[in-house]
Amino acid sequence: MHWKRWLSGLIIAPCLILFILFAPPWLFLLLILSLTLLGLREFYAMSLPGIGQNERMIGLLLGLLLPLTIYPGDLRWFIAGLAFLLLFLLILALFQPEEFPVRVDKVSKHLLGFFYVSFLLANFILMHRLEKGRVWVLFTLVVVYFGDTTAFYVGRAWGQKKLAPKISPSKTVEGGLGAVGGSIAGALGFKFLFFPQLPFWHALALALGVGVIGQCGDLGESLIKRSANVKDSGTLIPGHGGLLDRIDSVLFAGPLVYYYIWATGLG
């Protein structure tokens, strides 16, 4: 299992780095749209396994609306997209044959999928548009995956106290502390090697924030899997499971980094 994890990472990471550094904005949008489709597909398989193929396809297409309306950079497009999604789902529910609680539950889960996958991923479109956006995207990924890797090995070696045993029995407090340490190492290493203009204290603050919220993202996806009684979100990536298993921390970290940049004027 471990060699599969490393092999997958060694293949995917260089391709992703080159893509982020050199792909034009429209091609980066296509990447986000592709990840959105794959992520929603896994989400539907876990949370709404009983829906028909037509409803699933409608959901997947609707899920593309949030990244597409964020891309132009006009807030009115995004608000219009949100309004359309809510109205469409509620109107559709009026004509469904199921019992009323089932209809409301389906609408709620559709919206959860759109916000959890589509909206959180769409924040990377905003980040990519910044003056140093490509570097910020790479910074975020490095900090997240340094933390994830450190958490995995520290937790296996020294983990004793459970972090959230009912949600994810394998997560430990020691692993969580390792994640924060790994995120700090990744952030500071990236800053000194590739991003010298990033102030030290901002790099440290972002590392601490990502180290904590990345674990919340991991536990958030575990909560969804627990509710669906599945171990992995899918089998897309050998050694890792599904796409959501690999980007759960990234989904939470992206908005934190982008809005920190916006709030502090670092962009």
Q: What are the tens digits of pLDDT across the range 163-173?
A: 998 999 889 99
Encode burial over 202-241: b for 16+ CB neighbours within 10 A, e otherwise. ebeebbebbbbbbbebbbbbbebbeeeebeebbebbeebb
**Lowest-pLDDT choice from 3-12, 106-115, 131-140:** 3-12
Whether 40 and 118 have beta carbons less than 8 Å apart is answered as yes
Query: Rounded to whole angstroms, how far apart are CA atoms 220 and 226?
Result: 10
Mean pLDDT score, 223-233: 91
Q: Residue 242: which of 37, 36, 42, 9 has the closest Cα?
A: 42
Mean pLDDT rounded to a whole number for the chain: 92
Residue range 168-221, pLDDT digits in tens: 988 999 999 999 999 999 999 999 999 999 999 999 999 999 999 999 999 999
The pLDDT of residue 238 is above 80: no
DSSP SS3 for 160:
coil
pLDDT band per the 50, 70, 90 thresholds, residue 74: very high
Residue 12: predicted pLDDT: 76
The tally of domains found in the chain comes to 1
C-alpha radius of gyration, the chain, whole number: 19
Q: How distant, in Å, are the alpha carbons of 32, 177, 198, 251, 261 from that of 267?
A: 21, 29, 10, 20, 6
Q: Which residues are registered as beta bridge partners of 237? A: 241
DSSP SS3 for 23:
coil
Q: Kindly state the tokens that stand for 212.
A: 């904590």
Reported as half-sphere exposure (CB side, CA atoms, 13 A), residue 23 has a value of: 19
Give the range of the structural domain holding residue 200, as residue numbers without chain letter: 2-264
Whether 144 and 132 have beta carbons less than 8 Å apart is answered as no
pLDDT band per the 50, 70, 90 thresholds, residue 240: low
Please report which helix (H) or strand (E) contains residue 168, including its range.
strand 168-172
- pTM, full prediction: 0.93
The pLDDT of residue 10 is above 70: no
Residue 8: predicted pLDDT: 59
Please report which helix (H) or strand (E) contains residue 149, including its range.
helix 133-158
DSSP SS3 for 126:
helix
Mean pLDDT score, 243-262: 96
Residue range 13-70, pLDDT digits in tens: 788 888 999 999 999 999 999 999 999 999 999 999 989 899 999 999 999 999 999 9
Residue 16: predicted pLDDT: 87
